[in-house]
Amino acid sequence: MIGFDYGTSNCAVGIMTDGQPRAITLGDHGTYMASSLYAPDRDVIVNWLHKNINEPFRTEFKNKRGFLLSKGQEALEDLRYDGIPEHLSFGRFALERYLDDPSEGYYIKSPKSFLGTNGLLPAQIGFFEHIVAAMMAHVKNHVEADLGRSVDQVVIGRPINFQGRNAEQSNKQAIDVLTNAAKHVGYKDIEFQYEPVAAGFEYEATLTQETRVLVVDIGGGTTDCSMLLMGPEYVSKVERQDSLLGHSGKRIGGNDFDIQLALKGIMPNLGMTSELDSGKPMPVSSYFQAVAINDVNAQSDFYSAENGRFLQQLKRDAKSPELVERLLKTYREKLSYQLVNSAEQGKIQLTDHQQLAVDLSYLDQGLQQDISRELMAEANQHQLNHIVELMHEAVEQAGCQPEVIFVTGGTAKSPVINGHLKQQFGDIPVVIGDHFGSVAAGLTRWAGNIFR
């Protein structure tokens, strides 16, 4: 039995050992695998998945996916003819292959962000199911290699809401995708737990008395808050409904902070704040679409042939066409993820630096852009205010004030973010948890409780 944090930014797995959660090493990824996948062709993902799941699931999968497997086989033959490696890559190795040639292959970061998207067609939902299953199969293979035995019981973390709109329908769609993917790779007993509640379970293990805890989990894709009644007397209980006092959640996370920093700090170098020859401001919709890596429809619109023609005309109409040429280069070479990755790496470095220069030489030789903590705070004021609103919403649902605020999630590591949160609740102590490990550890504890 394992706890599986299938996160927007990272994947982590734990198992109970001597009464404590232990992080499982996922091969060369270490204990955390970045939630990224690279395929030389998107059609071959289903074929890789078919090869990497065990019987009887493999036969059942083939019976249901015969057409897609045939289509993928044709793509594999083309790759072999061209001498292109046909294997999939995951985590940082996926990013390395993408950055090696962004215009080739298929790269996706944070597929969890797409699972609850409204308006997805059945074929798109099936495609995301294959992506998630491929990642789960890769992780499961490493887990079983580490443990030396098969694993078929899992607790998977989930946000309060995958999307803001049509939350009930969105949540069902996303949970269905995750459940089907988990079944494909051989999990038999599959349970879900709210990620902030799981993080709370890990904090609960440190408590010596009953305490009202506001858990704030700022992940890569969502921010989730839970007001929990916790303490030693609750640790081993399976029924916890009476101690779960209030929940709130919204699709605001690390990806959004990266995107907003990219818009404010990087996109002016591509002409976003420039003018047309007519003196009118530059139309900005394509700039937003270019960096909206967590929005399927926006990315489809940006990389459409119609938008390519629009960008060509935009360059002709621009007062600074050399800047718009960089946006055209982004379009031609599929650099969206690289732009947002530059912002993300800058955000991470701002944890230890007040200001730094971001390398943008892939757009133009020698191009750099200075960014700062102040710029990040300005770019993300809207997101910061929304997180505070979510905290108050969970408290209002609970009908009582927290005695401690426990903040976790990779994005909360930023001084810009945790500094803003500490200002909001007066003298209530704020505890900063294990930024990446709290959810996985709590899911593991819950797996130990419900599967014992």
Are 151 and 26 part of one and the same domain?
A: yes
How far is residue 138's CA from residue 151's CA, in Å, rounded to a whole number?
13
Report helix, strand or coil for 272.
Answer: coil
Over residues 312-336, the mean pLDDT reads 97
How far is residue 408's CA from residue 195's CA, in Å, rounded to a whole number?
10
Structure tokens at 90: 């995951």
Q: What backbone phi and psi angles, to 5 degrees, belong to 304?
A: -75, 155
Task: For CA atoms 182, 117, 44, 147, give the dihedral sign.
Answer: negative
Residues in Cβ contact with 29 at an 8 Å cutoff, skipping those fewer than 6 apart: 90, 91, 92, 142
Report helix, strand or coil for 449.
Answer: helix
Residue 306 lies in a domain: yes
Residue 447 lies in a domain: no
CA-to-CA dists, residue 364 to 102, 323, 330, 361, angstroms: 15, 10, 11, 5
Are 247 and 269 part of one and the same domain?
A: no
Q: What backbone phi and psi angles, to 5 degrees, belong to 344?
A: -60, -45
**Each residue's pLDDT tens digit, 7-53:** 988 999 999 999 899 999 999 999 999 999 999 999 999 999 999 88
pLDDT value, residue 229: 94
Are 128 and 216 part of one and the same domain?
A: no
Poorest-pLDDT segment among 233-237, 286-290, 334-338, 340-344:
233-237
Q: Is the pLDDT of residue 409 over 80?
A: yes
Structure tokens at 218: 């700022």
Q: Is the pLDDT of residue 165 over 70?
A: no
Ranges of beta strands (E only) in 66-132 are: 89-90, 106-109
Q: pLDDT-derived band of residue 414, with 50, 70 and 90 as boundaries? A: confident
Q: Compute how many other C-beta atoms are within 10 angstroms of the C-beta atom of residue 317.
A: 16
Residue 195 lies in a domain: no
Are 266 and 344 part of one and the same domain?
A: yes
Query: Which of 355, 374, 393 is at the close of a domain?
Result: 374
Q: Is the pLDDT of residue 136 over 80?
A: yes
pTM strictly above 0.85: yes
CA 444, distance to chain mean position in Å, is: 20
- Total count of domains within the chain: 3
Closest CA to 442 of 149, 206, 174: 206
Q: How many helices (H) and strands (E) does the chain have?
A: 17, 16
Ranges of beta strands (E only) in 238-303 are: 244-250
Structure tokens at 210: 């009953």
Give bridge partners of residue 97 from the DSSP assignment: none
Are 70 and 170 part of one and the same domain?
A: yes
Structure tokens at 226: 């839970």
Q: Is the pLDDT of residue 281 over 80?
A: yes
Structure tokens at 268: 């002016």
Over residues 415-420, the mean pLDDT reads 84
Are 153 and 273 part of one and the same domain?
A: no
Q: Where are the alpha helices (DSSP H) in 111-153?
A: 122-147
How far is residue 309's CA from residue 360's CA, in Å, rounded to a whole number?
25
Q: pLDDT-derived band of residue 299, with 50, 70 and 90 as boundaries? A: very high
Residue 198 lies in a domain: no
153-158 and 2-6 as β-strands: parallel, antiparallel, unpaired?
Answer: parallel
Are 290 and 147 part of one and the same domain?
A: no
Structure tokens at 140: 């499961």
Are 213 and 294 part of one and the same domain?
A: no
**Each residue's pLDDT tens digit, 345-391:** 999 999 999 999 999 999 999 999 999 999 999 999 999 999 999 99
Are 242 and 299 part of one and the same domain?
A: no
Give bridge partners of residue 39 from the DSSP assignment: 106
Domain that holds residue 81: 2-187
Residue 448 lies in a domain: no
Residue 6 lies in a domain: yes
pLDDT value, residue 53: 83
pLDDT value, residue 163: 80
DSSP 13-74: EEEEETTEEEEPP-GGGTT-EESEEEESSGGGHHHHHHHTS-TTHHHHHHHHSHHHHHHHHH
Query: Which of 374, 405, 420 is at the close of a domain?
Result: 374
Residue 18 belongs to domain with CATH number = 3.30.420.40
Are 327 and 420 part of one and the same domain?
A: no
10-17 and 33-34 as β-strands: parallel, antiparallel, unpaired?
Answer: antiparallel
**Each residue's pLDDT tens digit, 68-85:** 999 999 999 999 999 999
Q: Is the pLDDT of residue 137 over 80?
A: yes
Over residues 100-120, the mean pLDDT reads 90
pLDDT value, residue 56: 74
Are 398 and 358 part of one and the same domain?
A: no
Are 179 and 32 part of one and the same domain?
A: yes
How far is residue 86's CA from residue 75's CA, in Å, rounded to a whole number?
9
Residue 33 lies in a domain: yes
Residue 440 lies in a domain: no
